[in-house]
């Protein structure tokens, strides 16, 4: 069987990938222009994103293994119906630590004090820090990331609440939550009212795009902090900027954005709103999940998946089973 590893992943594949997958012909595609041709011959593919025209060329494809948690960048509907689509995790540890780090940076005013001291001002009179012990973190989306965020924050004495599409007392207890609501707008607003820090951990889709807007930020309140490690458009761009600018919320940490650079470019303003002019934000370029452990665990998953696929065994993290059953359809 033939495997296509698409760029940019082809440049980061394990050196012993062929040894780990005996019997596979592996095509490490280095140029995006060659992706469609490689996919036309492939039985399986590993990709971070897949354009509609590339997916349409993949007529033989029976497994598309996304190297990311979300599949919003994979043109799933353009893939053949027989193709099983799976996603990948392994980044929850890095993201949980990132959430705690940026929350501490905001509540301890680390950036503000760093900038002041670099400018030659030894100013200790900027107010008292907020302790996180005893505060409430609200997790919007209780998947791999949300559960890890709750665990990390609880480890320093925070309490946790959450909302999820499938709430139950058992899930609340397993995650150590004081309260777990469902997907309704009322439950989302209840979480925001309870939270000192609200963390967005939802995938982007028709039901979640623009989910957090002006009303939700009012519910979070002027002392609240919003952290977005999901996808930028889950939070409405202009209302978030205005709430930060006008004191509607205390601060935000934004890792996911509304615009991204084209291939090879790094010069970009990632939003129409000038978040970078504000003092009460921590801005990072979609790096919260990037770590050595994430990279290694995802390649390990890919190898397990391909071995299972070749042997006709069920697959992990199935987002869309292939039509007619087969490997991964369970």
Tell me the pLDDT tens digit for each residue of 233-277: 999 999 999 999 999 999 999 999 999 998 777 889 999 999 999
Shared domain for 266 and 145, answered yes or no, is yes
Shared domain for 101 and 86, answered yes or no, is no
Shared domain for 190 and 247, answered yes or no, is yes
Q: What is the pLDDT of residue 72?
A: 81
Please give the Cα distance from 18 to 97 (Å, whole number). Answer: 33
Q: How many domains does the chain have?
A: 2
- pLDDT digit string, tens, across residues 315-326: 999 999 998 654
Residue 157 lies in a domain: yes
Look at residue 299 and give its three-state secondary structure: helix
Q: What is the pLDDT of residue 208?
A: 96
Shared domain for 16 and 146, answered yes or no, is no
Shared domain for 152 and 48, answered yes or no, is no
Residue 80 lies in a domain: yes
CATH number, domain with residue 265: 3.40.50.720
Q: What is the pLDDT of residue 262?
A: 83
Shared domain for 273 and 131, answered yes or no, is yes
Chunked mean pLDDT (size 10), the chain, 330 residues: 96 95 96 96 96 97 93 92 95 96 96 92 81 97 96 98 97 97 97 98 94 98 98 98 98 96 84 96 95 92 97 95 60
Domain around 108 = 92-283
| DSSP line for 127-179 | -PPPP-TT-EEEEES-SHHHHHHHHHHHTTT-EEEEE-SS--HHHHHHHT-SE
């Amino acid at each position: 069987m033939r495997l296509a590893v698409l760029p940019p992943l082809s440049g980061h594949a394990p050196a012993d990938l062929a040894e780990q997958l005996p019997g596979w012909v592996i095509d490490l595609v280095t140029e995006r222009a060659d992706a469609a041709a490689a996919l036309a011959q492939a039985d399986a593919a590993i990709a971070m994103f897949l354009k509609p025209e590339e997916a349409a060329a993949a007529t033989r494809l029976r497994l598309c293994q996304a190297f990311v948690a979300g599949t919003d960048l994979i043109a799933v509907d353009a893939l053949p119906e027989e193709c099983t689509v799976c996603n990948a995790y392994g980044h929850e540890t890095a993201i949980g630590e990132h959430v705690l780090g940026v929350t501490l940076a905001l509540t301890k005013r680390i950036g503000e004090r760093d900038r002041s001291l670099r400018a030659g001002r030894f100013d200790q009179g900027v107010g008292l820090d907020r302790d996180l012990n005893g505060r409430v973190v609200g997790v919007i989306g209780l998947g791999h990331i949300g559960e890890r965020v709750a665990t990390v924050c609880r480890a320093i004495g925070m309490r946790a609440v959450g909302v999820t599409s499938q709430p139950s007392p058992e899930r609340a207890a397993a995650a150590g939550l004081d309260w777990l609501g469902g997907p309704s707008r009322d439950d989302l607003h209840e979480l925001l009212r309870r939270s000192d820090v609200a963390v967005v951990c939802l995938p982007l889709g028709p039901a979640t795009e623009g989910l957090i807007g002006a009303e939700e930020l009012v519910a979070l309140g002027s002392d609240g902090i919003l952290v977005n490690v999901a996808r930028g458009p889950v939070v409405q761009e202009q209302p978030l900027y205005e709430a930060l600018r006008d004191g509607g919320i205390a601060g935000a940490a934004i890792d996911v954005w509304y615009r991204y650079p084209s291939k090879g470019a790094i010069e970009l303003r990632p939003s129409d709103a000038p978040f970078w002019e504000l003092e009460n934000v921590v801005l990072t370029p979609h790096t919260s999940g990037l770590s050595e452990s994430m990279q290694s665990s995802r390649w390990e998953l890919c190898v397990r998946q391909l071995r299972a696929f070749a042997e006709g065994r069920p697959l992990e993290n199935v987002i869309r089973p292939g039509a007619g059953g087969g490997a991964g359809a369970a």
